[in-house]
């Protein structure tokens, strides 16, 4: 019996074994032929063909400023626990494995390539766009804002989108990385935070209106040098006033019922920061149309993904569209605001970025940022002839005291600096103070960069425009931009 069926048994067993091997092999082939999913990868990881997996065993690669200074290091707690974190002054940008650039780019910083990294257990290094000289200068300028309720910050964004400076008055303590609950603002990059930027939003609305100037009649054309501006207007049932609505000396005509008027050109409207001027022009075009065209032009309703954060303006409620054109409901980050200024006065829109290069442990550069403006968004502009650019250059001079005008006489006379201030009222009577400076090149044909300083939630109403301008200029001078 046993011998009789032995051959059949052996055949059945072998068939079973070969079947199992075949199933496994076909499964393996199917797996190999399947393209790995890249759903978890960030855009930069995708570009570098990393699939979002984390290499826990490697040590982090270096994080460097654009001028080669290490801005992250391994730190040790009193209990001996160690973490790879941003060094002082960079914690809010660089962060740690729980936040900031290290968190967002951990796959890049931990990934290795065996051919480049045979004997080291180190990930790739990232050269950021952050310029340590500018960061140091900006941090020094912010030192006096040590009030924990006031957030003060400065950012500088180049024309191509490179974020050179993103400094804040954040608290720093190495221990904060080990007990983050005690230092809540450690990781907060204020420059990427949405806050109301007030009147600094007006030039963006005005640029859009200028591009749409043909749609407006002669009276409402921004080239109209004698536009009748009222101190207060009512739109959608809400009364909107100029900040100087009660200073009758600023107005030439009493229209009765507490309404005053004056004749303004664009430059004067910018210097007076006239809310009603911008609002009435927008209303003439149509508030919804204005909102839609602003979105089309500036991607305000889209999210801009950088390597370390996502930038998007807060959504505007349909029944508050009349608060947007003059900036009251314009909640956006200062980095995005700078990028939009570069666009509004340079004509090319480039998305902000923080990673300039990714370098393998053996020095091979595997990624080199080559920012390209979004072509179909570009428009032609000559800042020398541009009415809005000139208006902001006039505003720069008007913001300075006589003493400052003497001090910065070269900048004033060259008309290279375009400035706009902003003040946003907050619910608890505090204000956000904002100053934006756009720097043109020496022959005023191109934008170089835009810098922004914000002092959020301050009760100090005496912060002057000149004071903020001086601080920004100090930062720009430290980097030899001006």
Partner 1 sequence: MTAFGVVFTVIVMARTTYFTGAGERFVIHLTGAIICGVIVALAYKMDVPERVKSAACLMTTLTIANMTAIPMLYFTSGFSTEEVSGVASDTLNCLLLTCGGLVGGILLMYFMSTLNNRRLSSLSIVLTVVTLLLAFIVLLFSDRSSGTSIVFGVQVALPGLILMILCSAVATHVNRGRQFLCLGAASVLAGTIVFRNEMGVPTMFLAAMMVWYLFFAAKHDRILTTMCLMLPVVAAAGLLFFKKFGDEMSGVFVEKVMSRVFAEEVQHNVYSQRSLQQSGLFGSSNYIYMPEASSDFSLITIAHYLGLIYLSIVLIIVAVFFNTANAELINEKKPNTDITSTIAEMSLCMMTVIIIYNILMCLAGFPIIGVQMLFTGTSNMVSILSGFLLGCVCFSSSAVEKTRKKINEIGRELL
Minimum distance, C-beta of residue 177 to partner 1, in the bound complex (Å): 21
With contact defined as beta carbons under 8 Å apart, do 290 and 208 qualify?
yes
- Measured between alpha carbons, how far is residue 92 from residues 3, 171, 285 in Å? 79, 9, 41
Task: Rule CB under 8 A: say whether 365 interacts with partner 1.
Answer: no
Task: Rule CB under 8 A: say whether 2 interacts with partner 1.
Answer: yes
Distance CA(254)–CA(277), nearest Å, equals 17
DSSP string, 354-386: -EEEEE-TTS-EEEE------GGG-----TTT-
Give the tokens for residue 423. 């003040």
CB-nearer residue toward partner 1: 359 or 454: 359
Minimum distance, C-beta of residue 39 to partner 1, in the bound complex (Å): 12
Minimum distance, C-beta of residue 18 to partner 1, in the bound complex (Å): 5
> β-strands 125-128, 63-64: how paired?
parallel
Task: Rule CB under 8 A: say whether 57 interacts with partner 1.
Answer: yes
CA atoms within 13 A on the CB side of 11: 5
Task: Rule CB under 8 A: say whether 7 interacts with partner 1.
Answer: yes
CB-nearer residue toward partner 1: 6 or 365: 6
Distance CA(433)–CA(252), nearest Å, equals 29
Give the tokens for residue 472. 């920004």
Binding track, positions 89-128, relative to partner 1; x by CB under 8 A: ---------------------xxxxxx--xx-x-------
Minimum distance, C-beta of residue 103 to partner 1, in the bound complex (Å): 17
Task: Rule CB under 8 A: say whether 53 interacts with partner 1.
Answer: yes
- Judged by CB under 8 A, the stretch of 20-28, 86-94, 279-287, 379-387 that binds partner 1 is 20-28
Binding track, positions 237-276, relative to partner 1; x by CB under 8 A: ----------------------------------------
With contact defined as beta carbons under 8 Å apart, do 351 and 340 qualify?
no
Minimum distance, C-beta of residue 357 to partner 1, in the bound complex (Å): 19
Task: Rule CB under 8 A: say whether 47 interacts with partner 1.
Answer: no
Query: Cα angle vertex 253, ends 252, 258, to 5°?
Result: 120
With contact defined as beta carbons under 8 Å apart, do 447 and 159 qualify?
yes
* Positions that interact with partner 1 (CB under 8 A): 2-3, 6-7, 9-10, 12-14, 17-18, 20-21, 23-25, 27-29, 31-32, 34-36, 50-51, 53-58, 110-115, 118-119, 121
């Amino acid at each position: 019996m046993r011998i009789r069926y032995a051959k059949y048994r052996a055949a059945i067993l072998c068939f079973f074994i070969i079947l199992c091997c075949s199933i496994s092999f076909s499964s393996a082939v199917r797996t190999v032929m399947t393209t790995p999913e890249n759903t978890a990868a960030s855009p930069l990881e995708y570009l570098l063909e990393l699939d979002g997996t984390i290499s826990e065993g490697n040590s982090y690669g270096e994080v460097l400023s654009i001028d080669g200074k290490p801005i992250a290091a391994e730190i040790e707690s009193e209990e001996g626990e160690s973490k790879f974190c941003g060094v002082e002054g960079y914690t809010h940008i660089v962060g740690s494995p729980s936040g900031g650039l290290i968190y967002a780019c951990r796959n890049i910083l931990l990934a290795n390539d065996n051919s480049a990294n045979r004997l080291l257990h180190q990930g790739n290094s990232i050269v950021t766009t952050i310029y340590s000289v500018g960061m140091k200068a900006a941090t020094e300028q912010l030192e006096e804002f040590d009030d924990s309720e006031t957030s003060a910050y400065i950012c500088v964004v180049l024309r191509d989108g490179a974020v050179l400076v993103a400094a804040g008055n954040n608290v720093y303590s190495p221990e904060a990385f080990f007990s983050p609950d005690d230092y809540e603002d450690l990781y907060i990059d204020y420059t990427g935070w949405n806050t109301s930027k007030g009147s600094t939003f007006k030039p963006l609305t005005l640029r859009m209106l200028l591009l749409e100037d043909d749609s407006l009649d002669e009276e409402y054309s921004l080239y109209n040098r004698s536009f009748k501006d009222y101190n207060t207007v009512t739109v959608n049932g809400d009364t909107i006033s100029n900040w100087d609505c009660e200073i009758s000396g600023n107005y030439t005509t009493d229209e009765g019922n507490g309404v005053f008027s004056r004749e303004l050109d664009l430059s004067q409207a910018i210097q007076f920061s006239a809310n009603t001027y911008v609002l009435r022009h927008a209303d003439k075009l149509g508030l919804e149309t204005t909102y839609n065209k602003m979105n089309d032009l500036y991607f305000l309703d889209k999210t801009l993904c950088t390597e370390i954060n996502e930038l998007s303006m807060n959504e505007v409620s349909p029944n508050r569209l009349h608060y947007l054109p003059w900036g009251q409901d314009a909640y956006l980050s200062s980095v995005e605001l700078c990028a939009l200024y570069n666009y509004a006065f340079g004509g090319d829109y480039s998305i902000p970025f923080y990673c300039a290069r990714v370098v393998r442990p053996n020095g091979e550069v595997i990624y080199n940022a080559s920012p390209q403006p979004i072509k179909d968004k570009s428009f032609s502009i000559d800042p020398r002839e541009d009415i809005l650019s000139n208006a902001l250059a006039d505003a720069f001079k008007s913001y300075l005291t006589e003493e400052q005008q003497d001090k910065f006489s070269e900048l004033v006379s060259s008309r290279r600096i375009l400035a706009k201030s902003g003040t946003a009222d907050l619910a608890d009577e505090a204000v956000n103070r904002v100053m934006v400076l756009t720097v043109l090149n020496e022959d005023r044909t191109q934008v170089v960069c835009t810098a922004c300083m914000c002092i959020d939630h301050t009760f100090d109403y005496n912060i002057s425009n000149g004071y903020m301008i001086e601080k920004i200029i100090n930062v720009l001078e430290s980097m030899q931009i001006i």
